[in-house]
Structure 1
Amino acid sequence: MPDPADILLVQLDTEAPPGLIEAVAEASGRHLTMIDARDETPLDVLGSAAGLIVLGSAAVALDPGSPLVAVLRERVRQDQPVLALDTGAALLALACGGTVRAGGSHEFNYVDLTPTALTEADPVLRALGSGLPFMEWHDDAVDLPDEVAILAVCGRARSQAFRVGHRVYGLRFHPGATAEIIRRWTAIRSAASNNPAIRVRIGAETVRHQERAERFGRAVIEAWLALCRMDELAANDLRGSRRRPTRTAPA
């Protein structure tokens, strides 16, 4: 059973590994417990974790009644830290009342992430600065309720990054993606479409953009882990104040 102080990481697909997330968590002194969503691990353990990360997959998230969506919905309700990536972000969209459109957006390339008016003040996404290209792979689009804070957009999709409440984040990109992971994705996509030109195009884009993208990805992961730590400290202070005996004034 995972420790409540752990950061739990749900892997939906072996082709979407944590990448930089593991190294950044280790450097930050945080322990990651990985859960394979295809195993029979009871998902109710996810509700008590200090932080929850949900990775991506090649699948399109369309079932608002799935157990993982229910877990995300409860964490949204309690404003518990979540970092949902790619397909994980689509599941989070369903959890907060949004919709997912299969085929609504086809992206397999570096997209230009552009900040919104809310980004600069956000503790996790402010590292985006004036924007940068970042690799994405998905074949769907999400539509979000008006109360969700949009933190990054691109020309083809309105919601590249969003926040629900103060501690729940959805990113249509994977901040942990390394050049090695992207090479693997490119090989899969190239073989599936019988189009070797994909490898040439994405390889050139990776050379141009990946170093900067990884710096940004690390900054996002570090900032979200710091948010988890602040949340834990606040919870510990609250528990301590409840246990502290009240003193009565002398007569």
Structure 2
Amino acid sequence: MKTCVAIRHVAFEDLGSFQAPLEAAGYSIRYAEAGLDDLGALDDSAVDLLVVLGGPIGAYEDDNYPFLGPELRLIEARLRAGRPIIGICLGAQLMARALGARVYPNNGIKEIGWSALELTGAGRASSLAVLDGVPVLHWHGDTFDLPDGATLLASTSVTRNQAFSWGKAALGLQFHVEATGAGLERWFIGHASEIGGVPGLSVPGLRADTARYAAGLESVAPRVLAAFLSGMM
């Protein structure tokens, strides 16, 4: 059986709509809890797929979150070895930093809510092709420079670097392709302070948009994953 390890930074940001198709594809899934588990002791060579999930911290906050050091070293080693990795939101930012790119606040702008991506030509030929015209969930205040050697796959009007590939086995996604309508109810609680601090943003408004768009994303997210897994072989 193949093994997938997902690094989780907060309990309510999990694999979401990726979990069932990973299990169906024959992966045994284990979560590694950042801040609790020793990420430096993880035997990366025994992991077939690493997924680095999101979280409400900065990829540059090493002084506040010492686990970022071992996590970055794990990600960098995996990238350099060409072993399969997917980074989502904070995970994509950590991948970018591990590849030498800068991660920083996005001009004080919080991009939170649902909107479609603008796929590049490379994006339309990638595992993200099925997301063309499909609103996805955005939830971030930081962004990153495109790493050297990476291919830009998608943008939005707010954030240029929304998705990138690096070689055939590394995919960084600033947006949340894995989000589910049911799972977001936990986000509305866990991120209550952040929601309340963004003018014009509200839980009822996010809930209404989630009811409108989540099912569409859930229907295509497994195809994104399947295309990535197929393309990396």
Q: What percentage of aligned pairs have identical amino acids?
A: 27
Q: Give, in angstroms, the shift of residue 225 of structure 1.
A: 3.3
1:225 aligns with 2:229: yes
Moved more, 140-149 or 187-196: 187-196
Q: Give, in angstroms, the shift of residue 191 of structure 1.
A: 5.0
Cα 1:197–1:41 shift into 2, 3 Å: closer
User: Hey, what does 2:101 align to over in structure 1?
Assistant: 98
Equivalent positions of 1:126-165 (< 5 A) are: 126-128=129-131, 130-165=132-167
Q: Give, in angstroms, the shift of residue 206 of structure 1.
A: 1.3
| 2:101/2:148 contact within 8 Å kept | no
Which of these residues, 99, 110, 124, is aligned with residue 114 of structure 2? 110
User: Hey, what does 2:65 align to over in structure 1?
Assistant: none
User: Hey, what does 2:20 align to over in structure 1?
Assistant: 23
RMSD: 2.3
Supply the distance in 1 between the matched residues of 2:111 and 2:152 (Cα, whole angstroms). 19
1:8 aligns with 2:8: no
In structure 2, give the amino acid aligned to 1:169.
Answer: L
Supply the distance in 1 between the matched residues of 2:200 and 2:117 (Cα, whole angstroms). 26
1:82 aligns with 2:85: yes
Unaligned runs of 5+ in 2: 63-67
- State the TM-score, normalizing by the size of structure 1: 0.81
| 2:116/2:135 contact within 8 Å kept | yes
Cα 1:178–1:46 shift into 2, 3 Å: farther
User: Hey, what does 2:212 align to over in structure 1?
Assistant: 208
Which of these residues, 171, 174, 178, is aligned with residue 172 of structure 1? 174
Which of these residues, 20, 28, 33, is aligned with residue 30 of structure 2? 33
In structure 2, give the amino acid aligned to 1:113.
Answer: L
1:59 aligns with 2:57: yes
The count of aligned residue pairs is: 224
Q: Which is higher, the Rg of structure 1 or of structure 2?
A: 1
Structure 1 counterpart SS, 2:125? coil
